[in-house]
Structure 1
Amino acid sequence: MPSGKQTKYIVVSGGVISGIGKGIIASSTGLLLKTLGLTVTSIKIDPYLNIDAGTLSPLDHGEVFVLNDGGEVDLDLGNYERYLNVTLTRDNNITTGKIYREVIEKERRGDYLGKTVQVVPHITNAIQDWVERVGNMPTSDHGRSPDVCIVELGGTVGDIESAPFIEAMRQFQFRVGHDNFCLIHVSLVPVVGAVGEQKTKPTQASVRDLRGLGLSPDILACRSSMPFEDGIREKLSMFCQVSPKQVFSVHDCESLYHVPILLQQQGIIDVLTDRLKLAQLSIAPEICAEGDSLWTQWREFARRRARDLDEVTIAIVGKYTYLADSYISVVKALEHAALNVNRKVKISWVEASDLEDATMHKDPLKYHEAWQHLCAANGILVPGGFGERGVEGKILASKWAREHSIPYLGICLGMQVAVIDFARSVCGIPGAFSAEFREDCEEPVVVFMPEIDRTTMGGTMRLGSRPTAFQDNEFARTSMIRKLYGSADEVHERHRHRYEVNPEKVKELEAKGMHFVGRDAETGERMEILELENHPYFVGVQYHPEYLTRPLNPSPPFLGLLLAASGQLDVYLSGQDVSRDMETKLKM
C-alpha cells in the first residue's frame, strides 16, 4: 500500500434495543471485506465509566475477554478476533473511563494551556484522535496499516452515556471525508400480533433520532425473526431515506456463521464498494487469493454447521450458567472443535452449586437434575471463575470425570479443582483446598501468586500471552495434549489468574500419577498443564485456551476434548485425518 493512504471507517450503531447483534454484524462485515483482500481492524466503544471490563460481573456484562497484551475487554473483541483472524490490543476497546482519564491527565499536566476543559471539543477530540490512531495501527495478519476499520458503538442511540461518542462520530465523518466514512445502523423490526406482522415504526423512530444527532445511516441492517415481508424493504427505504438496496434483512438463520453469507447474498459488498470507493484501493494479488480461499473455507464451515451431524454432549459446570454470554468464548471453542471433527456439540449447562450435598440443598430437584446432566454427558468441562460459591460442585465434577473415565478439560479454576480433588482422593490429603477460598487452609494445594498486587482489583492479575514449555521427560514427550499441540516444545496462550498450583505439592501429586507436563517457560516453577495417566483424556490448563480459538483453527485442548468425547482421539493421534474420514462417510 502507498504511504499516507486514508483508512476507511465503517461505524456500526444500534437502535431500539441493545443486544440485537451489532457485534456479529460488524464482525461479519469485516469478514466479507477480508474476502476482497482488504486489511481490516476493529474498535469497540463501550460507554461505561469503567476503565476496562476486568471488574465487571459476567452475569452483568457477559464474558471478560483477554487479549495478548493483557487487556481485559468486551466480549465483542473476541468475535472480531475470531471472524477476522487478527490479534487486537487493549487500545481496540475504548471506554468512557479511558477517554476521561486521558483528558484529565492532560489537564493536570497543563496541556490545555489554561483553557476550560469541556466535553466538546476536548472529550470528542480525544475520541476521534483515539479512533484515528488505532485505525492506522498495522494489523497482526499482514503487518500493514488497515484499509478498513470497523467501529462498533456500544449501547443504543439516545443513551445519555453514548452522547459524546455520537457527537464525536458526527464530527469524525467530516475529518476523514465522505468517501472514507460509512454508517451501518442496526435496528429491530419486531414481529407482532396474531398474524405475525412486521413493524417498521421502531426503526423509523431510531433513524429519526440518529439523524437528529447529525448522523445519517448509509446501510440499515434490520434484525427480525423472519425475512422481510413484501413491501417492508421499500417502506423502510421511503421513511428512512435510504435506497432499497441499502436495506438488509438480518433475520434468524441456522447459525451465526451464516450471517456473512446472508449479507453477501443481499449485496452488501457491492454497496460498501460503491459507498467507500473500495475499487480504487491497490491490493496485492496474493492477498486477494487469500481472501478467495477464506471465503471458500468459511462457506464450507457454515455448511457443515447446518448439516445433521452426530451430537456430542459436553457438560459445562460453571457458576454463571444463567447467562450463556458469560462463557461465550468457551462455547465458540467447543463449536469450532466439534465442527472440525464433523460433530455437533450439545451443551448441557450445569450450575456447580447444584451438584453439592443433597442433604443441605435448597432444591432437591435441581440437585438430581444437575447430576443427571453430568452423568449423561460424553465429556465434562469446568471453566474459570472467581469466589467460593459452587467450588465444591466443581470439585465433584472433576472427581466424577476422573473416577469414571469421562473426558475432562479444566480451565484455570477448572485445573485447580482437579488438583484439589486429586490431592484429597488420591494423595490422601483430606484438608486440601485453595487459599483463595480459605486463607488459613492447613493443606493449600493452590496458593496466591507472590508477585500479584492484593490492594487493587483492576488489571492486577497475571494477564495476557505467556509462554508454556513442555517438560523433557518420558510422560510429557508422549502426552496427548502435547501431540494435540503438534509436539511443540513451547506454546503461547493467554492467562487471567491470581492463584496457582502450590509448587511445594507438585512432587507428591506427580508421584501418584498427576503429571504437570507444561510449566511456565520463564521460571519452570508455575504449573501450566496437567494430564492424568491411564485416562482417556483428563487435561487441566492454567491458561484460557478459548481466547485463541478460530473457526478454521480450533484450540488444541478443546479439540482433544471433542475427539475423546466422540471416540476419535486415538485415530486422530495416530495421524489420520478425522475430518476428511468423516466427510467421506457422510457422502456415502
Structure 2
Amino acid sequence: MTKYIIVSGGVISGIGKGIIASSAGLLLKTLGLTVTSIKIDPYLNIDAGTLSPLDHGEVFVLNDGGEVDLDLGNYERYLEVTLSRDNNITTGKIYRQVIERERRGDYLGKTVQVVPHITDAIQDWVERVGKVPTSDHGRVPDVCIVELGGTVGDIESAPFIEAMRQFQFRVGHDNFCLIHVSLVPVVGAVGEQKTKPTQSSVRELRGLGLSPDIIACRATKPLGDEIRKKLSMFCQVTPEQVFSVHDCESLYHVPLVLEEQGMINQLIKRLKLDLTEIPPEIREEGCQLLLQWRELAGRRARDLEPVNIAVVGKYTYLQDSYASVVKALEHAALNCNRRLVLKWVEASDLEETELQTNPIRFHEAWQMVCSADGILVPGGFGSRGVEGKVMASKWAREHKIPYLGVCLGLQVAVIDFARHVLAIADAESREFHPDCANPAVVFMPEIDRENMGGTMRLGSRATKFQPDEYSQGCKIRQLYDNKNEVHERHRHRYEVNPELVDKLEAKGLRFVGRDSETGQRMEIFELENHPYFVGTQYHPEYQTQPRNPSPPFFGLLLAASGQLDKYLKGEELVEPIATKLKL
C-alpha cells in the first residue's frame, strides 16, 4: 500500500516546504523506493496558467500540457519522474469537480457541503493520484509526498487541513506521516533563536486535529541542542524528530543536511518501510543517486572558475519568475565544472528611451550585457522590454557572444535578423503589432484568441531535425547526441512566419529543427559561423535535471566557458555528474 507524507508549513509562507518535500523524496529514492508527489495550492484558479510570474513565480509546464505551480518543477528535478496535471490540486479544480457532480445529480439531492463533499473529493484525488505508476520504473509508488500550500491557519487552506485530518484515518497510522516546516527566527543583537513561533504553529496544527511526526525548522544557522530540546518538550516530539534546515551553501545541500541528521531512519521507523522486496538493481540505482548527489553538492561548494551569463528578461525583479531557467543554467554549469554568475538585466533598461529617463541604469544594463560570457533571453509575454531583447540578440550575434533564445528569445532573434541582415526595417511580431506589414512572428492559426487559460500550444511535442545533409554537424544536434527527433515542452501562441523562412536561411539562420506534424513550424535555429547562437521555440529548461542538464543550456555554458569545441570533438573534460561515480 502507498505510504503518504504530508508536508505543511507554519509561521510564514514561502518557507521552503517544496525543497524540504523534494529532499525527503530524494532520500527515499536513495533507498530504492518509488516516489511520487502532489502539490496542493489553495487558490481558486483552475491552474497557474493565467497567474503573473511577478505574482506567483514561474508557471511550470508538464508533458501533458498542465500549467502548474513551480514546486512541481522541483519534484520532477529531484525525483526524476514525469508528473501530470493531476499532481497539482487547486481549490478551483476541487470545487469545479464537486459542482459538476452536483449538476449531474450524483449526490442524489443531498445538500452539498464542504464537509463531507469537498473534503471527500480532496481525499479521493490524493489517493487516486498517489497510486498512479511512476514514469521511472512504472511501479505503483511506495511513497507519495503531498505538499500543503499556504500556511496553517489560512482560511483558504482549512478544507485541505480537514481533509488530511480525515485522511490519516482512511489510510491508517502506519501509512501517514506529517512533516511540519516552521520558522525559528533570530531576534535581537545577541542572536538568540526563538521557538515561540514554531510552538504556536504546532499548537494551532494540533488544534485542527493533526500532530506533526517531524518538525523541520528553517533557520539562518543550525539549531542548538537546547533549542532542539525545548521544541521537543513543547511540541510533543522527541529531539531526534526535530530537524535543523539552516541556510546552506546551496539548495543541493539540503538533502544531505537532512540525511546527516537521520531523516531516512525517522521515515523508515515512522512509516514501517519494508526494504527487503526492492530489487537489487534498483537498490544499486539508489546508492548511485546518493553518491552522485554528494558529488553535485561538493562541486557546487568548490571555488570553481566563474562563467558570467546575462539573463535579459522582463520579470527580473522576482527571480522565481525564471526558476527553471536558473536551475537549467546551474545544472549546465556544474556539469561543465564552472561556477555560474548570473547578471540580471531588465530588458527595458537596454532601450534608447531608458537613456533619456535614467542614463545610469541604461549604462549599467549595457555594461552587464557587454561583459557577459554568454547571453540568455528567456520566454515571456507582453511588449515591455521587447526592443531591449532584440538589441541584446543583435549584440550577441554581431560580437560572436554565445547566445541562447528560448521561446520569445527565439522570436526576438528572428526579428533582429530580419531587420538588420535582411534589411526589413519594419519587421515586427504580430503579438505586439497586430497590423504590421512585415511580420517576422505570427499568431498560430489553431489557437483560441478569446480565452486565456490553457489555450496555448502546451506540453510535450516532437521536434524533428532536418535531413542529415542539412543539420548533420550542427552544434545543437550534436548536443542532443545526434538524435533524429527530440521531445520538449512548449508554451506559446506565436511562431516564426513560415513565409520568411527561406530568406532567413539564405543568409545563414538555419532552422535545423521543425515540428514533426507538419514540418512547417520552426522549432530550433542555429546561426552559421558563430561560436553558439541557438534559439528554441520550446522551453528546454522544463526538463533539466541535476544529473542530466538540458542540452541547449549545456551548450551555452560550454560555449561561454570556451569548452564547446573540445566537447563536440569528444575531448576529455570534467566528467558529467551522471557518469562521475561508478559503484
Q: TM-score band, normalised by the shorter chain?
A: over 0.9
* Counterpart residue number, 1:585: none
Asked if 2 retains the 8 angstrom alpha-carbon contact of 1:103 and 1:123, the reply is: yes
Distance 1:343 1:101, change over 3 A: same
* Counterpart residue number, 2:84: 89
Alpha-carbon distance between aligned partners in 1 of 2:20 and 2:357, rounded to the nearest angstrom: 42
* Counterpart residue number, 1:265: 260
* Counterpart residue number, 2:99: 104
* Counterpart residue number, 1:28: 23
* Counterpart residue number, 1:68: 63
Code of the residue aligned with 2:29 in structure 1: it is K
User: What CA deviation, in whole Å up to 9, does each residue of 1:18-55 have, x standing for no partner?
Assistant: 11100000000000000000000000000000000000
User: What CA deviation, in whole Å up to 9, does each residue of 1:299-339 have, x standing for no partner?
Assistant: 11111000010000000000000001000100000000000
* Counterpart residue number, 1:13: 8
Alpha-carbon offset, residue 360 of structure 1: 5.7
Alpha-carbon offset, residue 474 of structure 1: 3.1
Q: How does 1:387-402 map to 2 (within 5 A)?
A: 387-402=382-397
* Counterpart residue number, 1:562: 557
- 1:523 partnered with 2:526: no
What is the DSSP-based 3-state SS (H/G/I as helix, E as strand, rest coil) of the residue aligned with 1:248? strand
Alpha-carbon distance between aligned partners in 1 of 2:95 and 2:216, rounded to the nearest angstrom: 31
Q: How does 1:141-220 map to 2 (within 5 A)?
A: 141-220=136-215
User: What CA deviation, in whole Å up to 9, does each residue of 1:215-258 have, x standing for no partner?
Assistant: 00000000000011240000000000001100000000111000
Asked if 2 retains the 8 angstrom alpha-carbon contact of 1:354 and 1:361, the reply is: no
Alpha-carbon offset, residue 143 of structure 1: 0.4
Q: How does 1:457-468 map to 2 (within 5 A)?
A: 457-468=452-463
Q: How does 1:477-556 map to 2 (within 5 A)?
A: 477-556=472-551
Asked if 1 retains the 8 angstrom alpha-carbon contact of 2:541 and 2:550, the reply is: yes
Which residue of 238, 244, 249 corresponds with 1:249? 244
Alpha-carbon distance between aligned partners in 1 of 2:9 and 2:236, rounded to the nearest angstrom: 17
Alpha-carbon distance between aligned partners in 1 of 2:437 and 2:275, rounded to the nearest angstrom: 69
Alpha-carbon distance between aligned partners in 1 of 2:353 and 2:208, rounded to the nearest angstrom: 57
* Counterpart residue number, 1:575: 570
Alpha-carbon distance between aligned partners in 1 of 2:211 and 2:356, rounded to the nearest angstrom: 56
Which residue of 271, 280, 292 corresponds with 2:287? 292
* Counterpart residue number, 1:307: 302
Alpha-carbon distance between aligned partners in 2 of 1:281 and 1:31, rounded to the nearest angstrom: 19
User: What CA deviation, in whole Å up to 9, does each residue of 1:116-166 have, x standing for no partner?
Assistant: 000000000000000000000000000000000000000000000000000
Alpha-carbon distance between aligned partners in 2 of 1:363 and 1:121, rounded to the nearest angstrom: 58
Alpha-carbon offset, residue 88 of structure 1: 0.2
Asked if 2 retains the 8 angstrom alpha-carbon contact of 1:358 and 1:364, the reply is: no
Alpha-carbon distance between aligned partners in 1 of 2:290 and 2:50, rounded to the nearest angstrom: 37
User: What CA deviation, in whole Å up to 9, does each residue of 1:234-283 have, x standing for no partner?
Assistant: 00000000011000000001110000000000001111101000036621
Alpha-carbon offset, residue 476 of structure 1: 1.1
Code of the residue aligned with 1:245 in structure 2: it is E
Q: Structure 2: 5+ residue runs without aligned partners?
A: 578-583
Q: Which moved more, 1:183-192 or 1:469-478?
A: 469-478
- 1:239 partnered with 2:234: yes
* Counterpart residue number, 1:50: 45
Distance 1:231 1:397, change over 3 A: same
Alpha-carbon distance between aligned partners in 2 of 1:280 and 1:316, rounded to the nearest angstrom: 45
Alpha-carbon distance between aligned partners in 2 of 1:211 and 1:116, rounded to the nearest angstrom: 29
Alpha-carbon offset, residue 171 of structure 1: 0.1
User: What CA deviation, in whole Å up to 9, does each residue of 1:537-579 have, x standing for no partner?
Assistant: 0000000000000000000000000000000000000012322
* Counterpart residue number, 1:321: 316
Alpha-carbon distance between aligned partners in 2 of 1:387 and 1:13, rounded to the nearest angstrom: 35
Alpha-carbon distance between aligned partners in 2 of 1:127 and 1:539, rounded to the nearest angstrom: 44
Code of the residue aligned with 1:310 in structure 2: it is E
State how many pairs are aligned: 577
What is the DSSP-based 3-state SS (H/G/I as helix, E as strand, rest coil) of the residue aligned with 2:518? coil
User: What CA deviation, in whole Å up to 9, does each residue of 1:381-427 have, x standing for no partner?
Assistant: 00000000000000000000000000000000000000000000000
Q: Structure 1: 5+ residue runs without aligned partners?
A: 1-5, 583-588
What is the DSSP-based 3-state SS (H/G/I as helix, E as strand, rest coil) of the residue aligned with 2:159? helix
Asked if 2 retains the 8 angstrom alpha-carbon contact of 1:514 and 1:533, the reply is: yes
- 1:130 partnered with 2:125: yes
TM-score w.r.t. structure 2 length? Answer: 0.98
Alpha-carbon distance between aligned partners in 2 of 1:572 and 1:473, rounded to the nearest angstrom: 21
Alpha-carbon distance between aligned partners in 1 of 2:355 and 2:336, rounded to the nearest angstrom: 42
Deviation beyond 2 Å, 4+ runs, structure 1? 279-282, 358-362
* Counterpart residue number, 1:426: 421
Which residue of 431, 444, 452 corresponds with 1:449? 444
Alpha-carbon distance between aligned partners in 1 of 2:215 and 2:32, rounded to the nearest angstrom: 24
The CA RMSD over aligned residues, in Å, is 1.0
* Counterpart residue number, 2:364: 369
- 1:121 partnered with 2:144: no
- 1:140 partnered with 2:139: no
Alpha-carbon offset, residue 89 of structure 1: 0.2
Code of the residue aligned with 1:191 in structure 2: it is V
Code of the residue aligned with 2:180 in structure 1: it is H
Alpha-carbon offset, residue 581 of structure 1: 10
Q: Which moved more, 1:475-484 or 1:452-461?
A: 475-484
Asked if 1 retains the 8 angstrom alpha-carbon contact of 2:354 and 2:362, the reply is: no
Alpha-carbon distance between aligned partners in 2 of 1:487 and 1:576, rounded to the nearest angstrom: 17
Code of the residue aligned with 2:434 in structure 1: it is E
Code of the residue aligned with 2:76 in structure 1: it is E
What is the DSSP-based 3-state SS (H/G/I as helix, E as strand, rest coil) of the residue aligned with 1:580? coil
Code of the residue aligned with 1:395 in structure 2: it is V
User: What CA deviation, in whole Å up to 9, does each residue of 1:280-300 have, x standing for no partner?
Assistant: 662111111110111111111
Alpha-carbon distance between aligned partners in 2 of 1:226 and 1:7, rounded to the nearest angstrom: 35
Alpha-carbon distance between aligned partners in 1 of 2:321 and 2:167, rounded to the nearest angstrom: 34
What is the DSSP-based 3-state SS (H/G/I as helix, E as strand, rest coil) of the residue aligned with 2:575? helix
Code of the residue aligned with 1:30 in structure 2: it is G
Code of the residue aligned with 1:143 in structure 2: it is G
Asked if 2 retains the 8 angstrom alpha-carbon contact of 1:429 and 1:443, the reply is: yes
Alpha-carbon distance between aligned partners in 1 of 2:471 and 2:281, rounded to the nearest angstrom: 40
Which residue of 352, 357, 362 corresponds with 2:352? 357
Distance 1:506 1:104, change over 3 A: same
Asked if 2 retains the 8 angstrom alpha-carbon contact of 1:549 and 1:555, the reply is: yes
